[in-house]
Structure 1
Amino acid sequence: MRNATVAHVMTTTVRTARPAMPIKDLARSLARYGLSALPVLDADDRVVGMVSERDLLSKQARPLTDPARWWQRRRTRAEVRRARGDTVGDVMTAPALTIRPTALLAEAADLMVRHEVKHLPVLDDGRLVGVISRGDLVRRFLRSDADMRRTVVEEVFVHILLADANAVRVSVDHGIVVLAGQLQRRSEVEIAERLVRRMDGVVDVTNELVYALDDGGVNDRPPVLHRR
């Protein structure tokens, strides 16, 4: 079973900025193309930072231009630097947090949440090939219930576990998957739940599967009493 990767959902037509670009030109570019962030490239087309609407707002919200002090918090010093800047290079966030096109969407989501960013430049061997945003990830969760149910039955149960499709019942409602029916082994029941939980668009899984043979399973937890 293959989950979608960054390459499947990223934007491949990417507008960029240069460190020497004036702030006003950046604002015009963002407004003209309806964008909220741009990767910043150096003279060798390497990604050196990311500049966003937030960086511009930081400059507007902090009109005072007193120099940053060593004893200030790192974020405060960065805000002061942006407020005093006149070019993209002055206000951008650097270095840029990047991701590979082969990374799973879960990895991209984790990076965005942990580092509080909304966009990630996508690099392939150091070359910019796209940008992925939070919006791209959210749209992936709009996958239909019918499509998810079909993937669970055909890929998880039939293709991977080699189970009889008539022996299991799968229902999906607003991304919540319910698994029922009987498999041969306890380990198959546990593997099925693991695989379904990792599917794109799945919100939660209710596992009501039972098994005929307790082979010890694959989870480090007390065994569940099986029914016949």
Structure 2
Amino acid sequence: MNTWHVNDVMTSDVVSVGPHTPYRDVADLLSARHINAVPVVDADRHVLGMVSESDLLRKIEYVGAERPHWFERRRRSQHRKARGRTAGELMTSPAVIALAATSVRSAARRMNESGVKQLPVLDDLGRLTGIVTRGDLLKEHQRSDDALHADVTAALAEALLAENWSTITARVERGAVTLTGRVERWSTALFAERMVRLVPGVVDVTDEVEFDVDDQVLVYP
């Protein structure tokens, strides 16, 4: 089965800044490129951190504010960023990253768990090679029904290798797959459904496949 990876959907023409880039230049760059964050890299394009609009807003949020004696420890870094003048002083580090070979599903999980909207993508040498956003990951679900049907058919053929006469047909409508047909065992129908669910771009699977032998007890004793 053809699994989609980050390098299938990422933006290769990625803009970055150095640690000494001034605050105003970073703000102008985000505005001009219509992006909400930018990687901070060293001379060898190793990612040092990320500067986001949230980091830049600290200067507005804390303008003129003095740190009181009871200042919360968890907010000290935010207050420090408010005084930052360069990307290196403003950035959030370490950055949450992905490798080019990271699966789209793993990247989506990493974004969700970390609460970030984009991931710098690194090559095998740890250098910045692209960036992937939430919108990029959704490209998996923009595939045509014809393309999905071809991959679903291939997944079904793989799932039914162990059975000689079993047949399952698939109907794809707007990414939703309906499976019909007949197989020898319940476990085969279950395996086929799970294989289809793993096809990149499948939104949901309705399983209407019938079977002759209920082997659930053998599968789940």
Does the TM-score normalized on the shorter chain lie above 0.5?
Answer: yes
Who is 2:42 aligned against?
A: 42
- The residue correspondences of 1:70-149 to structure 2 (distance < 5 A) are 72=72, 74=74, 76-125=75-124, 126-149=126-149
Counterpart-to-counterpart distance in 1, 2:218 and 2:72:
50
Who is 1:187 aligned against?
A: 187
Unaligned runs of 5+ in 1: 223-228
- The residue correspondences of 1:203-218 to structure 2 (distance < 5 A) are 203-216=203-216
Assess if the C-alpha contact under 8 Å between 1:187 and 1:217 holds in 2: no
How much does 1:152 deviate?
Answer: 0.7
Assess if the C-alpha contact under 8 Å between 1:14 and 1:131 holds in 2: yes
How much does 1:182 deviate?
Answer: 1.1
How much does 1:217 deviate?
Answer: 8.1
Counterpart-to-counterpart distance in 1, 2:194 and 2:68:
49
Higher mean C-alpha displacement, 99-108 vs 137-146: 137-146
Assess if the C-alpha contact under 8 Å between 1:157 and 1:164 holds in 2: no
Give deviations 1:158-203, integer Å, cap 9, x for gaps. 2453478993231223322221111233222111111222222222
How many residues are paired up? 219
Assess if the C-alpha contact under 8 Å between 2:3 and 2:199 holds in 1: yes
SS in 1 for 2:179: strand
RMSD between aligned alpha carbons?
2.6
Who is 1:226 aligned against?
A: none
Who is 1:17 aligned against?
A: 17
How much does 1:68 deviate?
Answer: 8.3
Counterpart-to-counterpart distance in 2, 1:197 and 1:217:
24
Who is 2:177 aligned against?
A: 177
**TM-score, structure 1 normalization:** 0.84
Pick 1 or 2: higher relative contact order, CA cutoff 8 A, min separation 6.
2
How much does 1:144 deviate?
Answer: 2.1
Report the identity percentage: 40
Assess if the C-alpha contact under 8 Å between 1:187 and 1:218 holds in 2: no
How much does 1:57 deviate?
Answer: 2.4
Give deviations 1:130-174, integer Å, cap 9, x for gaps. 111111012221122332222111x11124534789932312233
SS in 2 for 1:117: coil
**TM-score, structure 2 normalization:** 0.87
Who is 1:6 aligned against?
A: 6
